Structure 1
Amino acid sequence: MRESAANVIIIPAKPEAAAQQTVKRQLRVAAYCRVSTDDEEQLTSYEAQQNYYTDKIMTNRDWTMAGIFADEGITGTSARKRPEFLRMIRMCKQKKIDIVLTKSISRFARNTVDCLNYIRALRALGIAVIFEKENINTLEADSEILITMLGAFAQSESESISANVRWGKRQAMREGKANIQYDRLYAYKKGDDGNPRIIPEQAEVVRSIYNQYLTGASLRMIKERLESEQILNVAGNPQWTITAIRGILTNEKYCGDVLLQKTYISDCISRKVIRNTGQLPMYLLQNHHDSIVERKTFDAVQTEMARRNAGKSPSKKKAPTGLTSYASKYALSERLVCGECGTLYRRCTWSKGGKKRVVWRCVSRLDYGTKYCHNSPTLDEEPLQRTILAAINSVMSKKDTLIRQITSAMEMEIAPVPGESMSLADIEHRLGKLNGQTRKLVAEAARTEDSSAYTSQLRGIVNEAAELKEKRAFIQERRQNDALAAQRIEAATVALGQATACISQWDETIIRQLVDTVKVHSAEKITVFLRGGIQVEQDMI
C-alpha cells in the first residue's frame, strides 16, 4: 500500500505559443486552366484565364501564388495527355499546394472516373479543389455527390461532341471527301487541287516493288535491293522496313482508290485506335486520283500476298505453328513436290573434299529420315533444271495451241455456278419485298390483342430471308474467286505469249510465271504442271 498521497505538479501555459498558433500563414493557391483546341478564339480564352487567376490569387491577402498550370489545345477526356495537370498533382502530393482553383468541372476533367479519383486523392491530402462556376469546395461534406453528377454531365457532353464529330466525318466519307495523310504517303504529294499528285521518281520505285513481288521476290529481298541501291524512303532515309514495303503493296491509293474508315476510335475516353475488320462500314472511292500501278496489278499482288500468307510450312520442326514465312529465293522452293508423301523439296548444299554439290531433297526425309517418306530421290540441281526447261520447251513449240488450252481452262474455271437460277439483283429484290412484308405484319400484330396468328408467317419470312442471304454470300464469294482465277490465268497467258519458242537459260522469274508445280516420281521421271492445267511428263536428263 502507498503510504503517501500522489504529488501533483502544475506546468504553466506559455502565452507566446498560443500567439504563434493564432498567426495564420498564407495558403498556397494554384490555378488550373485548359482549352481543348488551338484556334485563336480559344487561345484568347486561355490567356484570359491565366490573367484572371493571377490577379485573383495575388490580390487576396490570405493567399500566395503556388503556380498557374495550363494545358493548351489538349483534350480533357484523359489526364495522361495533360502534362501540366499531372505536374500540378505531383506538387500537391509534395505538399506544396493547399488549394486548387479551376473554372468548372469540365475544365478539370471530362472523364467522371478521373475527376473523382483525383479529387478524392487531393481531399485525402487535405487539399481543396474549388470549382468557381458550380460554387463547390471539395472539402465540404456534400461535395462528392454534386461532383459525381456534374462530372457525369461533363463526360456526357464530351461523348455527345465526339458523336457529332464522328457523324460529320462519316457524312463526309459518304459524300466522297477524303482526308489523306501525305507525310506518310510515299510517291504522292498534295497537288494544287487538293488531290494526290504523283512524284515521278518515287512512282518508279513503287512500280519496281510491285513487279519484283509478282515475280516472286520476298519482302526481305525487296528491302535489301532498295537499300543496296540507296533509294530513300518516305522520311528521306536509305533504311527501309518490311512494314513500309508491305504498306506500299497493300495501299489501295497506288491504284487510284481511297478506302476510308480503315480504323476507328473506340470511345472518346480511352481514344484507342482499332482496326476496322467489319465493325463499321468502309467507303471506297474508286478512281479518286491518278494511279501509279494498274488495278489488275494491284489485285494480282493482293492475291499473291494472300496465297503466300496461307502457305503451309513443309517442315514442322522449323515451323511448329505450321505457317510458312515466305522468303523464297528459288522458284522451286515452293513448286518442287515429292510424289510419294506430297511434301515440298528443299535446296541443300553438300560439301565434300572441298567440292560443293547443290541438290534438292524432300523435307520429310531431311526432318524425319525414312519414317514417313521411304523412297524419295535426291536430285542434283543442274540436271533437274535442264529437265524442267525441256518440259517447258516441248510445249512452247506449240504456243498457239497452249494459249487456246489456257483460255479453255479459264472458261471452265469461271463457268456459272450450276443450279443457280437467281442473280444477285433477284435476291436483293426479293429481300426488299420480305422486309416490307415483315414491317406490315409487325404493324398489324401491334394493333391486335392476339399476335400469335402472325408468328408462323413471320418465322417463314425470317427463314426465307436467311436462306437468301446465304445464297447471296455464296454467289459473291464465287464471283470474287472467279475474278482472281481469271487474273491468274490471264497473267500466265501473257507470259507465254511473250516468251521465246525455246528457253535456253534458267530464269527464276519465267519459272514462277509459267510453272505451277513439279512432281518428283523417281530419280528418272518428273511431271511438270504449267499454269492453266497443262502437264508434261519428262524423263530426267
Structure 2
Amino acid sequence: MKKVTKIKETNNRLQKKLKLRVAAYARVSTDNTEQLISLEAQKVHYEAYIKANPDWEFVGIYFDEGISGTKKENRTELLRLISDCENKKIDFVITKSISRFARNTIDCLEIVRKLTDLGVFIYFEKENINTQSMESELMLTILSSLAENESISISENNKWSIQKRFRNGTYKLSYPPYGYDYIDGQIVVNKKQAEVVKRIFTDALAGKGTQKIAQELNDEGVRTKKGGQWRGSTIRGILRNEKYTGDVILQKTYTDDNFTRRTNKGEKDQFLIENNHEAIISHEEFKAVNLAIEQRGKEKGIKSGNSKYLNRYPLSGKIQCSECGSTFKRRIHGTKNNKYIAWCCSKHITNIEECSMIYIREDSIHQGFVTMINKLIFSHKVVLRPLLQKLKLMNYSDNLIRVQEIESKMEKNAEQLQVLINLMTKGYLEPALFNKQNNELRSEAEKLKDQKEALYRFINGGMAKITELERLIKYVSKSKNIESFNKEVFEQFVEKIVAFSPTEIGFSLKCGLLLKERMER
C-alpha cells in the first residue's frame, strides 16, 4: 500500500523566515540641492539592490540629511536603525562607505560591536567589508580612522575665522576667568570673586603655597567658578593668568594635526591685547608674585612650565580619561604583601561624583600595548601598507590644484587693486567709490590668503602622518612579536592613551590611528 505523507504549510512559512531582513543606511552632510539629489539616488539604488536578491527581504531605508557625521548622537535615523536592530527587526545593514556611516572612529567601532553582539552585520560597499567575515577589527579601525581624517578640513575652516579675529582684536573669550562675568558682551568684574582673587595674590606674595591657599578657601566654604573644590593647580592657574591685569594673550594653546591640545611654546603666533578689560591686579603685583613663584621653584629644582613628575614614568601625562578629559595619576594599590601599580583619573581621585572612571592596572596597559603592536607586526602587509598608499593618494594633488587656483585669484585681485589705485591717482574715481571697492578687494585678498594657509596646513599635516606611518611600518616589518612592554617603542609611536573603561583603552598613535584594546582586570 502506498504511503502518503502530508507536507505541512508551515514549511513555507519557515522558508520565508529564513530570508535575511536587510536595511540600508544613507547620509549626506549638507542640505543643498546637489547633496539631496545624491541622497535620492542612493535611496533608489539600495531599494532596487536589496529587492533584486531573492534571499533578502527589504526592510527599509534609513537616511539622515543635512547632518554632520562626526557624532552619532546628532543622527536620529542612525539611532532609529540601531533601535530596530535591538528589537530584532533587521538582520543585515548595507551602507555606501565608512565615511558615510561614521567619521568618528570610536562611534563606528562601538556601533559595529553593538550590532555584532546582536547578530546584525554591516556591509560597506566602497571598502568591500562585511563585518560578519572579518577576522579582526583592525582593518575596520584603520579604515574608519582614514575616514575621520577627512573631517580635518572642517576644523581648519573654523581656525580661519578664529585666526582672523585674533589678528583684528575682535576675538571674545569663550569663558571669562574666576573674578569676571560676561554682561552684554563685555567682560565685567565680579566684585565678590575679585576679592578672593586679590586675597590669593596677597597670600602668594606673603609666601603661602598654592595647596595651602586652596585648603583655606575650601575650609571657609568658598567655591570655584563652577561651584567645585579648590586645588593647588587651580590657584597656580589664577596666579599665572595675565587676564587679571586687564591684558589678554591669545593662542596660548593650540590643537595639532592629531587633535591634541598643546601649550604654545613659539610654534604659533600669539597676540597681546592690552587694556582689554578692567584689571583686578596691578602689573607690578602680578610680576612680583610670578617672580616669587619662579624663585621657589628654582629652590626646589623645578623648572617653570614643566611638571615635576612628567618624565618619571613612561605613562605619565599620557593617559586621558574619556569621561571627563582629565589625565591619570600613578598610584600603589593592594595589600602589604600584594601590591601593584594602578593609574587613576585625577578628577575621580579628587571627587568621585564628578567622574566615575575607576583605576586601570599598569600591567594591563602594558599587555594591551604588547597585543596592539603584535597585531600590527602580524598584519602590516595587508593593513598598514595599503593604508600608506591611500594616504599618499588622498586628495593632496586636488588640494595642490586648489592652491594654484587660489594663487591665480590672488594675482587677479592684486592686479585689480593696482588698476583701482591708478584710476584714483589720475582722478577718474570718486573717493567714496574708491574706498568701497578698495575695502572689498582687500577683504577678498585676506580671505584668499587664509584659505591658502589652511590648505598648506592640511597638506603638511597629512604629510607628517605619512612620515609617522612610514616609521611605524619600518619598525613592524623588521620586528618579531614582542613579549613584554617596551618603553622605547611606546614613546616612539604612541601619542597618548584614551581610557574608555577599566577594561578598554585606545592607543592614539602619532600617525593618526586610534587602536582600541580590551583588557582583563
- Whether TM exceeds 0.5 here: the answer is no
| Structure whose alpha-carbon radius of gyration is higher | 1
Q: Relative contact order: is structure 1 or structure 2 higher (C-alpha 8 Å, sep ≥ 6)?
A: 2
Question: What's the TM-score once normalised by structure 1's chain length?
Answer: 0.40
